[in-house]
Structure 1
């Protein structure tokens, strides 16, 4: 039984890592999956790993949307395209993120703003644009935050601050929209073996 059959799911950062794995699992469960990211080629690679069950997989069951979530206008257009195609939205997984290493004295204003734009502002833009549609379907938001946003981490001032914002934004959304029937949760993984943590892992190996 496909648990998410006829549900429409947006996964941001779906071109690699946790986003790719999440999108594939939703596809396995029968959802209409919207793959969102900045690079069409990697999103198509994700789609290429979807189940080849001919009773499910065809062009009407997924779409690829190239979108920079740090750009509010692009996010609004992405949501419009999703509704135009599938007519409803049930689940949003805000997975897109950007690592940023550096102590605060070493970060430029541009570094700080970049971490906020992708990790926090992007999550805000997607949630804001999606919520009217999720209220209609009594849907769900899952924000991918980080353990670093709860307890902090060395040498990651901007990333820690941005992810702390995501965690508390999630709590606020749950309080504000639980009465609308929208469930909002965050997952807070620790360091995960993905392309985003490649440099961090290499640094750790040098220390070891």
Structure 2
């Protein structure tokens, strides 16, 4: 990485994964490598480090970044509201086993106004999942929370797995895949009926009930 830093060599993709079980002592080195990648116009960034406090403000400030993938990192207790963040370059965001709360998630999406693809999978701290993103087109959710609200008028593809049927606000034909883990009862069928009666036009709806 020092060669890239000194030579200002452009980096297309930077991926860093945890090798050692106890890697806390490596975090300062990870910070250094990450900064070099961001300064060298990295376009795709993948971080897979357990409990790593990802410097999200620094990451989003990178004007070249188009795709961000975080595994097992934490975005808490960092507050996005403590600084001005606006990532107009980011198009794809994936969060897997990341620690964050509802406010952090929505603020993160607000900071990426041109995002078109978003994946959220088994993230801790999200008891209520509310997603609002006008530019979003592809959304994949694997999250077992109590409430799921999606406000994405330009969404064309939704792949959802969770306990509850999500509430949707979309304005165009969409392909919907639902994997619902919930016992069948009257309340569940009422939610399903409400979901299917949405005035939006579904191009395809697939429903899978998992017990």
Instruction: Give the TM-score, by structure 1 length.
Output: 0.33
Instruction: Give the TM-score, by structure 2 length.
Output: 0.32
For the pair shown, the structure with the greater C-alpha radius of gyration is 2
When you count strand as a share of all residues, which structure comes out higher? 2
Structure with larger RCO (C-alpha < 8 A, sep 6+): 1
When you count helix as a share of all residues, which structure comes out higher? 1
